[in-house]
Amino acid sequence: MLPWCPEIKNQGSSMRTTAANHSNPKRLSLTPPDRNDPCYCGSNKKYKKCCLLKEHQYISYHVQSTPLTEEEAQNSFPEPSEEDIEILNTSYNMLQSPKNLRAHHTHILEQLYTLRDKYPENPVILNHISVIYSILDMKNERKQLIKEMYQRFPDYLFAKMGQAEILLDNDEFEEAFLVLDQAHSLKHIHPNRRVFHITEFKPFELCLIRYFCGILDLKQAQLHLQILRKVVGNDDEAVHDAKKLIAKTEILIELTALAKTAQKTD
């Protein structure tokens, strides 16, 4: 799972990524569960007997693959210059082609290191570096950078997801869930946002699926798999990864049950 950098454009200025020129924005809405589905809040009750009855009901939001405006992203990070934005654009485009990135990573990293020093209060630059470390399999460097990013910018969504991923890798499931604010939806973390980028949505849902599989809560894991599939479709790599993890968890639960039965028999 990679914490991909979201594309952001600034309305009224030249701060926009190359992908901002897409003519057909892909925006999908997440709507409430059916009345008889498990509630999204994790209560293990049916939606009709849980949050449907509460004052703060499920609020739908949009997921899109095209750039977010500054207003949609609600970021307040220092804005790089137009020249530096072009460097970030180049970096982002390189991230879409790992083969090209591996061939030019030294130059790209040098540029990003310069931007990191120039804009120390902008975690987006750190996130670009983190993704490059991941593609280049620089595990220790990436882990150290994510820890730094989370310590300095604990409210930055990609810092949260990166730190949660590290904890999940160590089977520290409850600690990972705490880092994610015990949220079952991106709206729980950012209640004032109505739009999220696909690169925010996928890692978040995968973190939740990993967490629920880790605590052997298959019902919630399946629920979040359904949410993931609704947005990205059945053929997305994230869906395949989630299905494999859920299948392994099902086997683990069955083996555990068999072992307990065998112990009772003995």
CATH fold for the domain made of 8-265: 1.25.40
Count CB atoms within 10 A of the CB of residue 151.
10
The answer to whether residue 183 scores a pLDDT higher than 80 is yes
Q: What is the pLDDT of residue 260?
A: 84
Crossing angle for the helix pair 139-152 and 157-169, to the nearest 10 degrees: 130
Mean pLDDT, the chain, rounded, equals 83
Domain residue ranges of the chain, discontinuous segments joined by + = 8-265
- Between 30-44, 84-98, 248-262, the lowest mean confidence (pLDDT) is in 30-44
Bridge partner list, 68: 8
Mean pLDDT of 207-231: 93
Mean pLDDT of 85-108: 85
Q: For residues 246 and 226, is the Cβ–Cβ distance under 8 A?
A: no
**Torsion angles phi and psi, residue 32, rounded to 5:** -60, 155
The answer to whether residue 19 scores a pLDDT higher than 50 is no
Q: What is the pLDDT of residue 266?
A: 63
Q: What is the pLDDT of residue 40?
A: 67
Q: Which residues contact 136 (CB under 8 A, 6 or more apart)?
A: 101, 102, 105
- Between 2-11, 12-21, 97-106, 111-120, the lowest mean confidence (pLDDT) is in 12-21
Residue 178 CA, chain-centre distance (Å), reads 15
Burial-class residue 209 by CB neighbours within 10 Å (0-12, 13-18, 19+): buried
Q: Which of 137, 139, 116, 136 is nearest to 126 (CA)?
A: 116
Q: What is the pLDDT of residue 10?
A: 38
**Torsion angles phi and psi, residue 28, rounded to 5:** -120, 140
Q: What is the pLDDT of residue 168?
A: 97
More confident site: 209 or 105:
209
- Rounded CA gap, 95 and 86, in Å? 14
Q: What is the pLDDT of residue 207?
A: 97
pTM of the model: 0.81
- Between 2-16, 87-101, 136-150, the lowest mean confidence (pLDDT) is in 2-16
Q: Which of 30, 79, 56, 23 is nearest to 223 (CA)?
A: 30
Mean pLDDT of 208-221: 94
More confident site: 51 or 204:
204
The answer to whether residue 22 scores a pLDDT higher than 50 is no
In the block, residue with structure tokens 């079952």: 184
- Rounded CA gap, 184 and 124, in Å? 24
Calculate what percentage of the chain has a pLDDT beyond 90: 51
Q: What is the pLDDT of residue 35?
A: 79
The answer to whether residue 73 scores a pLDDT higher than 70 is yes
The answer to whether residue 151 scores a pLDDT higher than 70 is yes
Q: Which of 116, 37, 27 is nearest to 77 (CA)?
A: 116
Q: Which residues contact 192 (CB under 8 A, 6 or more apart)?
A: 74
Mean pLDDT of 74-97: 87
The answer to whether residue 28 scores a pLDDT higher than 80 is no
Q: 182-190 long-range contacts, Cβ below 8 Å, gap at least 24?
A: 184/40, 184/41, 184/42, 184/208, 184/220, 185/40, 185/58, 186/61, 186/157, 187/59, 187/61, 189/157, 189/160, 190/74, 190/157
Q: Which of 29, 143, 10 is nearest to 77 (CA)?
A: 10
